[in-house]
Amino acid sequence: MASEGDADASARTQACRPLTQFYTQSFTIFTSLQSIAASQQREEHGEDAAPWLDVGPSVQTLQYYHRIGALYCDAIQSYLTALESEQPEESEYTKHVASLQTIFHLAQVLYLPEDGRGMGVIGEELLHWLNAHDVAPTTEQGQQIAETSPSHEHPEYWDYLFRCVLRGFYATAATVLQSYSAPGVSPALKGIALELAQILKTLPRSTGFATEQAFFSAHRNWHTSVRVFLSGLQRKMNQVQKELEASGHEHVEEARLELEAQFRCLLELLCGVPERILEFSENWAEAVCAWGTLVQPAMKRDDLPEVVHTVTEQLPPDGTLDSDMILVSLMRGDVTKSIKQCIPYDEWLATHLGDLCSKAMLLEDSEMEDGESLLDSILFTWADTLLNEERLWRMALSYLAVVQTPAARSKMRGVLFSVPLVDIDDADAQFKRVEEVLGACIEYGMDDEVRIICKVRVPYSHQRLGHGLMEHKKYGLAIAYSVRARDARQVRKIADQILRDYVENGPEQFIQSVDTIPRVLLENAEAVATEAGLTADNVELATPFAMTSSIFSTETFAPLVFHVKYRDFLELYADQHTWAEAAHILVGLLTSDVTPESFLTVLLVDALPLVQATELYFTLSEAYELLRVVEKVDSVTKPDDADQVTEYYFYWLEQLVTRKAGAASASPTTRRKLVQERMQVVRLALAQYLSRVLVEGGESG
């Protein structure tokens, strides 16, 4: 956490690991806030609402923001707990972190009310905030007084009692007063103490009433009873003095004056006499919080700036403490000023509190010296802080993305281009890093950066990585990477390698390989297939691809479309019960432009068992289509011809047939002869099939 001044360096060094966890937890909350804000904006105002129509977040939205504020406070508390477990002794840095929670919590109480409205009295909420972060009086003080017999003789007895009243611990104060009910105490004095204890116990709390009016009425009645008691205090003390004299007490008059002064101070505190609140409050914050319960119980958020002004004139804040000045600004209603004060104090606080206040529309339009808006400048600074730690570059991008200015976009490009990609020896680790960078580009719509990263920044590693993945038969990752890298040549190369796997290892290996292809990368494959003739009428695509770049043509994606359909064919072909569906796909492939012409002869040989089967799997028109493909191959190939065309059409079939025949070491002439013999078998089988269809099935096969 970047802060200035009092955070000691050694403590922060030891806190490195918890600090990273704190940043990560904060980042998660920050990204959630962006999603909530965007969603609420759409729901409340629509996509195209004019900014000048925005009157502020709704009640429901403020309730969401209140929860976000609570999550930030919880994150700070978790960080504090982690620090304390590693550093039992409180350091300046842990005090600094604790102050962040104090500030954030106050902002949440004042500006992000739990009910989303914040129209009620605020005294109790402020007391709760103060007691949560500045514990007083302490438990140790209470124990020391309780261990003294009698308790009211402890030198700090009355100070402790007054602090209990100021802090809203009225029941505790009532219990402390009961020390005057001990044996030997003047009956009149005992009566005063018991009445005061009852007054303390019955002090109305705003949280105990269903309506404000009921609370105000109860408080007026209670306040009247206190004033009446105060007006009769002197008379009661006269009786106490008489009883003390009768008991032979030494220094009776001094004791009476001391007791009367203390009881009067207590009653004046309860009556809300401003001078007494200011006299006994330890600092301005305690006075302001007590003001809302004792002086002005009807105090609301709008009244707070005036109260703070009144209090700080008598109890000025500590100008040497940045945290104190931030709290004063928040209570005075100057949120923008408080965020500006947070900038030199703590960058984390300025960023996350500033962003939350901005979402709640609490910040005034304010520009920094360089012309940037206040929040944009803060986010830029925070991103730079995160970038000091190389591992946090991804977080930095998310903060920059919120800015939505050309300067931020340029900064994001710089961050992406600075992430080291080529200094990683392990191919898997390198691929993971590159995928992370490319994933960030895609998330933020930075398509041009994808091309630059893959083609300029890592040209050699790109080739090595893509080739290495292909060599390790990680075809899905290889294709995904190549598509994102816009490397059409590599996509075709991988497609050829998958076919080679089929020829060398058989259908099962081919099916496994094709199943790794991320079809979601090619979402317009349906259009590719339609253009190639694989329409819904003849071959239905099982899963659409997702295409991410327009530079990929039909020619580029055709091999992948073919692989997917051929994989489906092989799966159906393996079970004789689904040969009819397999035959349907096979005809589509033989007549489609997505099929490599060099693979047509393999498909024709695949058709042989279907043609020779007892059942008729092809219609007359489909049989003629198969025969047409045979004629096409025959027309461009000649027996014993070794020209390029012949080798092209027989390339895959020659390898497949020689492998199955165990003739891999045979001469080229022998291999060619095997292929031509197989093609003759296909031609003869098709001729016989046509005869059967004409005689037995006509067009209904």
Same domain, 334 and 395: no
Residue 357 placed within a domain: yes
3-state secondary structure of 272: coil
Average pLDDT per block of 10 residues along the chain, 701 residues long: 51 69 97 93 65 71 97 98 88 96 98 96 98 95 93 95 98 95 89 96 96 97 98 96 88 93 98 98 98 98 98 97 98 97 98 97 77 91 95 96 94 91 62 79 83 62 61 77 72 89 90 79 49 44 34 65 91 94 94 89 94 93 92 77 74 85 72 87 93 74 43
Exposed/middle/buried for residue 631 (C-beta within 10 Å: 0-12, 13-18, 19+): exposed
Same domain, 369 and 240: no
Same domain, 134 and 235: yes
Query: Using CA of residue 479, residue 484, residue 488, residue 489, what is the dihedral sign?
Result: negative
Same domain, 381 and 345: no
Upstream peptide bond of 150 is cis (omega within 30 degrees of 0): yes
Residue 494 placed within a domain: no
CB 297 within 8 A of CB 307: no
pLDDT at site 697: 62
pLDDT at site 549: 39
Residue 700 placed within a domain: yes
Residue 626 placed within a domain: yes
Same domain, 621 and 639: yes
Same domain, 101 and 158: no
Same domain, 601 and 617: yes
Angle (nearest 5°) at CA 96 between 143 and 323: 95
Within 8 A by CB and 6+ apart from 223, the residues are: 271, 272
Domain that includes residue 2, residue range? 1-118+322-364
Q: What gap in Å lies between CA 392 and CA 536, rounded to an integer?
A: 48
The 3-state secondary structure of 520-555 reads HHCCCHHHHHHHHCCCCCCCCCCCCCCCCCCCCCHH
Same domain, 203 and 247: yes
pLDDT at site 6: 42
Residue 345 placed within a domain: yes
Q: What gap in Å lies between CA 32 and CA 610, rounded to an integer?
A: 58
Domains in the chain, number: 4
- DSSP-derived letter for residue 450 is H
pTM > 0.85: no
Same domain, 135 and 262: yes
Same domain, 9 and 51: yes
Q: What gap in Å lies between CA 333 and CA 303, rounded to an integer?
A: 10
Residue 450 placed within a domain: no
Q: Which two tokens stand for residue 550?
A: 């327009």
Residue 577 placed within a domain: no
Q: What gap in Å lies between CA 162 and CA 168, rounded to an integer?
A: 10
Same domain, 52 and 184: no
pLDDT at site 52: 44
CB 265 within 8 A of CB 230: no
- The number of CA neighbours under 13 Å toward the Cβ of 518 is 16
Residue 495 placed within a domain: no
Same domain, 4 and 104: yes
